Chains A and B, each alone.
Chain A
Amino acid sequence: MDANVSFDPREDAYSKPLDQIDVSVPELYQNDVYQPYFERLRREDPVHYTADSHFGPYWSVTRYKDIMSVAINNQVFSSRWDLGGVRLEDQVQGYERPSFIQMDEPDHGERRKAVSPVVAPGNLARMEGLVRERTITVLDNLPRNETFDWVKDVSVELTSRMLATLFDWPIEDRHRLMFWSDVTVCHVDTPDAPVHSEAERYTELQKMATAMKALWDERAASNSPRYDLISMMAHADATRNMDFRELLANCSLLIVGGNDTTRNSMSGGVWGFSKYPEAYRKLRENPELVPSAISEIIRWHTPVLHLRRTALQDFELGGKTIRKGDKVAMWFVSGNRDEDAIRDPHELIVDRPRAREHISFGFGVHRCVGNRLAELQLRILWEEILKRDFEIEVMDKPKYLRSNIIHGIRELPVQIH
Chain B
Amino acid sequence: MPEVTYIEFDGTPHRVEVPLGTSVMRGAVDNNVPGIDADCGGECACATCHVYVDAAWLDKVALPEPGSQEAAMLSFAAVAQPDSRLSCQITMREELAGLVVRMPEGQH
Contact = CB atoms under 8 A, between A and B. Distances in A.
A96 B73 CA distance: 28
B94 interface: no
A144 interface: no
B83 interface: no
B54 interface: no
Given A120-B106, A121-B108, A356-B38, A113 B43 contact: no
18 contacts: A72-B45, A72-B69, A113-B76, A117-B78, A120-B78, A120-B106, A121-B105, A122-B78, A122-B105, A124-B106, A357-B38, A361-B46, A364-B45, A365-B73, A367-B46, A367-B47, A369-B76, A372-B108
A124 B48 CA distance: 16
A68 B105 contact: no
Interface in A363-388: 363-365, 367, 369, 371-372
A60 to B, nearest CB: 20
Contacts of B107: 121, 372
Contacts of A87: none
Max chain B C-beta neighbours (<10 A), residue from A105, A116, A124, A356: A356
Contact of A72 (B37, B44, B105, B106): B44
B62 interface: no
Interface in A81-131: 105, 109, 112-113, 116-117, 119-122, 124-125
Given A109-B75, A109-B76, A361 B45 contact: no
Interface in B65-84: 69, 72-73, 75-76, 78-79
Contacts of B37: 356
B40 A68 contact: yes
Nearest to A108: B76
Contacts of A72: 43-45, 69
Given A68-B45, A121-B107, A363 B78 contact: no
A54 interface: no
A120 B46 CA distance: 14
Contacts of B48: 356
Interface string A163-203: 00000000000000000000000000000000000000000
Contacts of B44: 72
Interface of A: 68, 71-72, 105, 109, 112-113, 116-117, 119-122, 124-125, 354, 356-357, 361, 363-365, 367, 369, 371-372
Contacts of B41: 354, 357
Given A109-B75, A116-B76, A121 B45 contact: no
Chain A interface, >50% SS class: helix
Interface string B12-52: 00000000000000000000000001111101111110000
A122 B78 CA distance: 9
A372 B39 contact: no
A396 B63 CA distance: 55
Given A72-B44, A120-B106, 13 more contacts: A68-B40, A113-B76, A117-B78, A120-B78, A121-B78, A121-B104, A354-B41, A356-B37, A356-B38, A356-B39, A363-B45, A367-B45, A367-B46
Contact of A361 (B39, B78, B79): B39
A361 B106 CA distance: 17
Max chain B C-beta neighbours (<10 A), residue from A71, A109, A121, A361: A121
A124 B79 CA distance: 14
Given A121-B107, A354-B41, A372-B106, A363 B46 contact: yes
